Structure 1
Amino acid sequence: MFRYILLIAIAFVVTLAPAIAKPIRLMVEFAKVVTDPLSGFDNLQIELTPASQQAIAEFTTEHVGKTIDVSIDGKIINSPTIQSPILGTSIMLSGPYSVHELQLMANQLTDKTSTVEIDLAKKQR
């Protein structure tokens, strides 16, 4: 009887526990600084490899409505909430960065000296 109750308790905890997503590392084809024609703000455009395009599409499809951390070399540079799946060939990142800082990130990503990682934010909004 105790074993039966324990199994039910474990099943209940497992179904209530949030799914733990594995972070994904994105492989970059190239990155560049672009200016949004509507806002005039500079952004970092990151073109992804086909494998990374598929990985981010699957990750964002599974986590619509959740906040993610986008990190370069382990430093969180942006924490957007996923509004819809990212199905394109690139991602666009904005933030409180100067053109010089964005260009430095673009150069490092294009030269493959830095890595981009996406993970669920520890603290959801």
Structure 2
Amino acid sequence: MNSLVRLIAGTAMVLLACGLAVAEPLALAIATAAVVSDQASGQRALNLKMTPDSAKAFADFTKANVGKVVDLSVDGVVVASPRLVEPILGGEVMLSGSFAPGELQRLAERISAGGAKVTVEVKAEQPL
């Protein structure tokens, strides 16, 4: 039995070293969610401000995954898949782009109501 435990632990270490292990999604606690005007693009955007604990965990997550595509999901539905070009350290993200009319407002309301599960994880298949 002891050799089986060592085999499992050894296999897990090899998978982690190769980057093949699947990490659990990081759950984010959102303090506020609001639709705002993005100053840079002039588009409507969803602004998400995290709680201090989530901001720290998200900063660590983004530091470890610069250059990778990540999926941001609300209640299990991917709403954005950006490539991380630099760590996000301020505990705040802005989502803009091709959203259906009213979709950003619905997301903001659902997240603000407190029942939505917001998660981020490294996209399983990375585009070239």
TM-score, structure 1 normalization: 0.83
Matched, 1:103 2:119: no
Q: Distance in 2 between matches of 1:47 and 1:123?
A: 28
The one of 91, 95, 118 equivalent to 1:93 is: 95
Q: 1:30 to 1:63 in 2, by over 3 A?
A: same
| Structure 1 residue ranges (4+ consecutive) displaced by more than 3 angstroms after TM superposition | none
Give the gaps of 5 or more residues in structure 1. 1-6
TM-score, structure 2 normalization: 0.81
Larger of the two Rg values belongs to structure = 1
Amino acid at match of 2:115: T
- Following superposition, the deviation at residue 26 of structure 1 comes to 0.3
Matched, 1:14 2:43: no
- Following superposition, the deviation at residue 23 of structure 1 comes to 1.4
Amino acid at match of 1:27: A
5 Å-filtered alignment, 1:1-125, equals 14=14, 17-18=18-19, 20=21, 21-125=23-127
Q: Which moved more, 1:15-24 or 1:107-116?
A: 15-24
Q: Distance in 2 between matches of 1:91 and 1:19?
A: 28
RMSD over aligned CA atoms reads 2.0
